[in-house]
Structure 1
Amino acid sequence: MSTMKNPPSILIVGAGAIGSFYGAILKRAGCSVSTVLRSEYEVVKTQGIRITSPLGDLSYQPDQVYRDGDTPVAAPDYLILCVKVLPGVDRAELVRPWMGPNTRLVLIENGLGIERELAEAYPDNPILSCLAFIAASRTEPGVIEHKAYGKLVMGAYPKGIDGHCRELSELFIAGGIKVDLSEAVVGERWRKCLWNTPFNPLSVIANGADTRTILDTEGGEALIRAMIREVMAVAEAEGYPMDEGLIEQNIDGTRKMPPYKNSMALDYLNDRPIERDAVLGNVVALAEHHGIAVPHLNTVLVTLRMRAALEGRA
């Protein structure tokens, strides 16, 4: 539990698997944790959020459960945004009803270049950018299965580590997870793309394949390696060079965890939009800007576009 006398208030916007898990961790740390929900409002209002985890039973009842358009009891100290980064979703407007003059905006989301629109919309509110290294999925309304990991990498946007980072990281640590603070969180986003950019899109092309299937299929691991190398080349052109050893680190780490259907695979299998551009398209666009050939990444992106057009999901 937190040793703070008055732990800050937390609001989770996008309380799916990821948002619900980190809300549970902050609840364990003694914070007031509220949620904004759409389809699962009635279930969570009556039953709370149920989470099974290697950390134990993380189930909790949010202090307030809001629908979109509700009036908040008070603006939160930290608004944690965990929605998918999708075309047509105006995240700046999505959080507007809940933002106060002193609210710190925390992004726990995938992708590159995702902070800019929020920084422009809320220039006076501190923005903390986070990357979640976690295997968790929603199994039914209000029910989350946390399988492994949970570490956060956190930094102030666009760079640095401030007092807000330190306060929030201490709370997450008190709740039972590891947090690494980073002076260059954008570079850390590139590091996470080494995994997300190959594995997530390939899982969709392969009809929701899990990580073990992707790696064990003949040629699968070689394809993952080639895609990681292409991501590393673009990252280096952007000013974020990375060590070749990260290729083995990503593959070895994936093999050590249980077979895992990532979030993009689950979104696809459940007919939900996928974060194609945030995770893959933006990397390919930057490669084109720098004149870097990324044939494997480009082939996967074009194939996803074809599939989306054929299925009416473009």
Structure 2
Amino acid sequence: MNDMTTSFSDSAVMVEKKASLLEAVNLALHRAMAEDENVVVLGEDVGVNGGVFRATAGLRDAFGFKRVIDSPLAETMIGGLAVGMAAQGLKPVIEIQFLGFVYAAMEHLVSHASRLRNRTRGRLTCPMVLRSPMGAGIRAPEHHSESIEAMFAHIPGLRVVIPSSPARAYGLLLAAIDDPDPVVFLEPTRLYRMNPQPLKDDGRRLPLDTCFTLREGGDLTLVSWGASVHETLQAADRLAEQGVSAEVIDVACIKPLDLDTLEASVRKTGRCVIVHEAPRTCGVGAEIAASLYERALLDLQAPIQRVAAPDIPPPLYRLEHLYMPGVEDILAACDTVLNYA
């Protein structure tokens, strides 16, 4: 870690420095814990080691072992503890080391965390955040490379957030910790140290449930989230060289979806390509496409295209470049909608 994460007091007075997405997560956790003593961090190796990617580095020294808790290698226990803590007034932020390890905690997320408000008719809430790295591209085994955001999005009562830049990671994580209901906060591993950007540690929250328009355009709409935003922006640059103006939208919060922003863009451009790293079948891209057909069918000038991973487990790293949607795949889909007759 560089000097951005040495301590909360140091980061609090910074005017603006470049930070990676990983450092932005660390800064947000420092600030949230300093502002609210009920915020606790729990997970495997989050304390002494600062997390497998060092996202929680420095937290144990700043806030002590009672608020930064190293757990056993037991995701089921981590999930259950978080629900109990949240129900009794704490704000646990739990870390699952890799998204493929979350299945053991799903029982608590699905059967308890997501239903606590409804089950108790509002008497109890579950203000917990589940953080986990997600996605391929770091040459890791399959359980370290999964993108299963659609699984979480299907569960009523769970909010699902996926930042694609340091600024959005910082502002959205602070907002997620403030939320009185459970939030699944997925951090694209491939972006952790990619493209540091200027970031001011000012405690500013970004709105949840809102899409971010990263680039204005009038010829077609490119919709993405997470790590795939990187390739989507590259594709938009390539299209601009050809005289094609692409509007790029980062969904950021895939549950609930900000369909108003997406609809407005598609009504303006008449064409849409949706890009995501998760498998194609029953992916969030299918939900977005169906909703846009319901809302803006008569404004569409071509069928919506989806660019996604195939319906297979993430392969070994030698084949990752074939598995993840690339710039050329996005451009091919754009060519289809632009030349549709």
TM-score normalized with structure 2 length: 0.40
Q: Which has the larger radius of gyration?
A: 2
TM-score normalized with structure 1 length: 0.42
